[in-house]
Amino acid sequence: MSKDMSFEAVMARRPETMKKAIGIDYDVFESGSIAFDYERMMRETGYSLQQMQKIQSETGVGNTPVYELRNLTALARKFAPKGKGARIFVKDEAANPSGSFKARRAATACYHAKKLGYKGVIAATSGNYGAAVASQAAMRGLKCIIVQECYDSREVGQPEIVEKARKCEAYGAEVVQLTVGPELFYSFLRLLEETGYFNASLYTPFGIAGVETLGYELSMEFREREGKDPDVVVVTNAGGGNLTGTARGLIKADADTQIVGASVDLSGLHMASDTQFNRKSFTTGHTGFGIPFATWPDRSDVPRSAARPLRYMDRYVTVNQGSVFYMTEALAQLEGLERGPAGNTSLAATFALAQELDEDKIIVAQETEYTGAGKHIQPQLTFAKENGIEIVIDDPKDEVPGENIILPKDPSYIKTKDIDLNKIKRSYIRNCIKNTKVDSVTSEDIEFLVKDTKSSEEFVKKVLDELKVEY
């Protein structure tokens, strides 16, 4: 008898499919209410930092170079108040196999899949993670399927995503390409059922722990060369895993570093809209992922996401698309590094934030990513024009995502905009109440919410009062 493959039936089988495909019983960490034991989950199902370093070194991942961007620092100081303009550094994560920090996440996912005896791995991703999984799977002798959201209903694909499909195929993976829509998850579940492969989710404890090495390396590297930890680390934020892992690694090194999340502002564009899909020029690192995943991390493809950015974020800023493109040019033209563009989101923010800090401070943009055909400032802006987006040189504050891209008139126009973190934290708490369907919260829940929002008992109770929830 064949299985019911309708949308509803496949989605209803989600819990058992997932359990088989990840090998983690998430139930044991649950409290039955809002709270779950995050640290126990990370400890018991993840890997220690030392294990992680060993696993990653086996496949050439990590220990990427750190460059001081002296010309960009000098430029920032031209626009900063006297005495301001921190030293700007970048961690060249593009030096990883497959060309991005995502190799760190994929390394542990593939190692784990191999160890548990899976024949192959599947990942649902249109981004660098696909190439990372395909590359690591090749090294570990695993089969690999990447499921991509790639086209609109005209079969027009974002050049950046098409390039990533090519790269996955280059590593011997099968790439399943889909049109826009959240039912990508349905196709993904069907493939997991059919193949019995491992779900190389971005959001498992081992995936996130894989990024901890990045934060740890930053601390060690700066202690060695500068005798101190970086003062500020800026992380491009989408699903929250990069920020979570990096922050955890810094904490494991006992570093006293401020963690800033940065996303490209795509407000107003609906991520599941067929007609808006190709009106954006960034397919990751943007607010369309950053905000929903911060306010409800457990929307991911695992029951409990190990990526919980609000736990670690000290500040969250946005930059516009045009500023990231400008900074991508700046990195190439002043520093001789052709990278990005999406990975340069944190660099654009870093350039603006450096101007707020004293000259002796150290600020780090913690990643770069590879560039190439399709995934490059020129094809992406060519594509934007073909889709009716106007390219303007003016003040980026007037950029309207989906209508125009405003390149800054000069570097003084590159600014960050602060997102009100308390507002985001309130939304997260509201979503916890709504999605867990509880009428009252326990003291364990409050303790969990304080940690999960890096706030205080007073703050959490105030929000609960506003929401009229008993505790």
Partner 1 sequence: MDAKKGDWVRIHNIVLNPEDRSPNLPEDTKKVPLEMWDKGFLLNENANIGDIVEVESYIGRKVEGKLVEVNPFYDHDFGKCVPELLYIGRQLRGYLEGSEQGE
Q: Which stretch binds partner 1 (CB under 8 A): 36-44, 166-174, 221-229, 282-290?
A: 166-174
Q: Which is nearer to partner 1, 216 or 325 (CB)?
A: 325
Q: Tell me the C-alpha distance between 143 and 136, whole Å.
A: 10
For residue 5, what are its two tokens? 């493959």
Q: Tell me the C-alpha distance between 468 and 471, whole Å.
A: 10
Q: Radius of gyration over alpha carbons of the chain, in Å? A: 21
Q: Which of 19, 166, 228, 279 is the binder for partner 1 (CB under 8 A)?
A: 166
Residue 31 engages partner 1 in binding (rule: CB under 8 A) = no
Residue 159 engages partner 1 in binding (rule: CB under 8 A) = yes
Burial 409-439 (b: 16+ CB within 10 A, else e): eebebbbbeebebeebbbbbbbbbbeeeebe
Question: 422: Cβ–Cβ under 8 A, 6 or more apart, which residues?
Answer: 455, 459
Which one, of 217, 37, 201, lies nearest residue 106 by Cα? 201
Binding mask 76-115 for partner 1 (x = CB under 8 A): --x-------------------------------------
DSSP 127-187: SHHHHHHHHHHHHHT-EEEEEEEEE-TT--B-HHHHHHHHHHHHTT-EEEEEESSTTHHHH
Q: Which 170-229 positions form the footprint of partner 1 (CB under 8 A)?
A: 172-183, 186-187, 194-195
For residue 169, what are its two tokens? 């195929």
Binding mask 392-421 for partner 1 (x = CB under 8 A): xx-------------x--xx----------
Residue 348 engages partner 1 in binding (rule: CB under 8 A) = no
Which one, of 166, 119, 167, lies nearest residue 141 by Cα? 119
Q: Which is nearer to partner 1, 34 or 348 (CB)?
A: 348
Q: Which is nearer to partner 1, 184 or 259 (CB)?
A: 184
Residue 38 engages partner 1 in binding (rule: CB under 8 A) = no
Q: Which stretch binds partner 1 (CB under 8 A): 157-165, 204-212, 227-235, 240-248?
A: 157-165
Residue 285 engages partner 1 in binding (rule: CB under 8 A) = no
Positions touching partner 1 (CB under 8 A) are 6-7, 70-71, 73-75, 78, 120, 143-145, 150-151, 153, 155, 159, 162-163, 165-166, 169, 172-183, 186-187, 194-195, 270, 272-276, 325-326, 329-330, 332-334, 373-374, 376-383, 385, 391-393, 407, 410-411
